[in-house]
Amino acid sequence: MAVNKVTWAHVGRVTEPGRYMYKFGWLTISADDLAVWKQYPNAAFTLYSTAAKPPSEDEIEEEVAEEFRLGIFELDNSNDSKAEE
């Protein structure tokens, strides 16, 4: 998997918690995740894979997408002022 961190911009600045399909698989975004992004719009969350449900008979021949959630996040400090100097 090439994607290991995502920002709010990467996921289209979603505004509601839910389960969304992206190129890398399904991503569940919680209300708490959105609260972080609303306070820190440039925060980057680490993705972690969750246990996917076993495929149904209809899905056996189709590719089953992976399931992800947002884990720990880091803040982008590149816009901090140099007031501490």
Residue 13 maps to a domain: yes
pLDDT of residue 83: 40
| pLDDT in the model for residue 81 | 42
In a domain, 6, yes or no: yes
Q: Residue 32 domain-assigned? A: no
Residue 9 belongs to a domain: yes
Q: What is the pLDDT of residues 1-42, one digit of tens each?
A: 456 899 999 999 999 999 999 988 899 999 999 999 999 999
pLDDT at 41: 94
Domain containing 16: what range? Answer: 1-24+43-55
Given this model, what pLDDT does residue 82 score? 43
In a domain, 31, yes or no: no
Per-residue model confidence as pLDDT tens digits over 34-64: 999 999 999 999 999 886 666 666 655 555 6
- Residue 2 placed within a domain: yes
Nearest by Cα to 5 from 51, 50, 48, 52: 48
> Total structural domains in the chain?
1
Is residue 84 included in any domain, yes or no? no
3-class secondary-structure state, position 39: helix
